[in-house]
Amino acid sequence: MGSRNSSMGIGSQRSGGGFQLAGAVTAAILLTGLAVQHIRVGGTVQRHIDSVTGFSADILPPPIRIVEPGLAQNRDNLAELERQYRARLTRWTADDVNPRLAGKLRDLVAKEADAFWTEVNKVLLPALARSDMAIAQASEQKR
């Protein structure tokens, strides 16, 4: 009888070990799946990289900076550049960008750019429409 109890103990140990092994393999598969989901194309890491890359591309002229408008050849070009600026500013201040970065963008870049576009729309373009070159030149000097 002693030998029969020993064999049942070995069988139940073997069965318990099999369940443990199956559980460990299942856990490894689940963790691998979660990791792949995190780093896959379109995953969390990819979205973060896209956000940072997009922001880096947008802070170069144009459209979020106001360098190119000084080179614009006509009112249509200016209107398109302002539209692009407003669209990118909205994206980078409303997106899930780092809040400090979005705050600096609003506080530093947007203030200067908004002042620029206000000057263009309220002073420069009306002066040019009236052919008032003195005011237009004074406005350009402010930029």
The answer, yes or no, to whether residue 9 has pLDDT greater than 60, is: yes
Amino acid code (one letter) for 68:
E
pTM: 0.51
Q: Label each residue of 81-116 as H, E or C.
A: HHHHHHHHHHHHHHCCCCHHHHHHHHHHHHHHHHHH
Four-residue CA torsion sign, 92, 97, 101, 103:
positive
DSSP letter string over 114-128?
A: HHHHHHIIIIIHHHH
Residues in the chain: 143
The answer, yes or no, to whether residue 34 has pLDDT greater than 60, is: yes
pLDDT tens by residue, 36-70: 776 767 777 777 777 767 766 666 555 555 545 55
The CB-based long-range contact list for 128-136 (8 Å cut-off, 24+ gap) reads none
